[in-house]
Amino acid sequence: MSKTVTSSAPARGPADHDVRTQIVAAATEHFSRYGYEKTTVSDLARAVGFSKAYIYKFFESKQAIGEMICANCLCQIEAEIRAAVDEADHPPEKLRRMFKSVVEASLRLFSQDRKLYEIAASAATERWEATLAYEERIRELLQGILQEGRQAGDFERKTPLDETVMAIYLVMRPYLNPLLLQNGFDYIDEAPGQLSSLVLRSLSP
C-alpha cells in the first residue's frame, strides 16, 4: 500500500486525523457501492453514524471527500509507476516501463472499480487539485528519466529539455486520464510498446 494523502487543511491533532481517515474509508466504500454522483453527505453521515454537521467539521463538501479518495487512488497509481521505473537500470528501459505501467496501473484501478472511475472522471473533467498535482509529479518523473538519459549519452541533447518533456508527456497523457483511457481500449495492448518505441526513436542521439 502506498502513502496516503491527507488534506491540505492543517491537522487538528491525531484524533481528528483518525476521524478524517474513518470518514474517507466509509465514503470510499459507500461511493463504490452506490456511486459518487448519487451519494449525498447525508447518506454518508448515516452510513458512518455521525451527524451531517460533524462531517462538515472535517470536510467542507462531498467534493472535498471525493478529492481525498481521488488523491489516494492517484498516489497508488504513482507508486506503482515509480516502482516499475525503479526496477530498470537504464533510462531507455525506464521509459519503456513508465509507458507500460502508466497504462496498466491506470486501467486496473479505473476498471476494477467502476464507481471509483466515476470519481476519477469528475476529477479529470473538473480539473481537481489532486489531478493537477498528480500530472505535475508524472511530468517530473519523466523529466528525471530524460535528464539521466542525456547524462548517460542515451538520449539526444539538441532539443531543449522542456520541449522534450512536454512532447513526451503529451504522448503519454491520454493514458493517464480515465476519460481518455476509456476511449482507447481498442489499442490498449499495443499502445505502450508502440508509443515508447516511437519516443525512443525520437530520442536517439
Residue 107 CB, nearest distance to its own copies (Å)?
16
Q: What would the x/- binding string for its own copies be over residues 175 to 204, using CB under 8 A?
A: --x-xx--xx--x--xx--xx-xxx-xxx-
Residue 99 CB, nearest distance to its own copies (Å)?
11
189 burial via Cβ count (<10 Å: 0-12, 13-18, 19+): exposed
Residue among 55 and 203 whose Cβ is closer to its own copies = 203
Q: Within 13 Å and on the Cβ side, how many CA atoms surround 66?
A: 27
Instruction: Give the number of other Cβ atoms within 10 Å of residue 35's Cβ.
Output: 13
Residue 114 CB, nearest distance to its own copies (Å)?
16
Cβ neighbors of 160 (< 8 A, separation 6 or more) are none
Q: Does 167 bind its own copies (CB under 8 A)?
A: yes
Residue 64 CB, nearest distance to its own copies (Å)?
23
Q: Where are the alpha helices (DSSP H) in 35-189?
A: 41-48, 52-58, 62-87, 91-112, 114-125, 129-151, 161-172, 178-182
Q: What do you get for the CA distance between the two ends of the chain, in Å?
A: 39
Q: Does 42 bind its own copies (CB under 8 A)?
A: no
Position among 4, 42, 61, 125 found at the interface with its own copies (CB under 8 A): 125
Among candidates 125, 107, 109, which has minimal Cα distance to 37?
125
Q: What would the x/- binding string for its own copies be over residues 53 to 82, using CB under 8 A?
A: ------------------------------
Residue 54 CB, nearest distance to its own copies (Å)?
37
Contact footprint for its own copies (CB under 8 A): 124-125, 156, 159, 163-164, 166-168, 170-171, 173-174, 177, 179-180, 183-184, 187, 190-191, 194-195, 197-199, 201-203
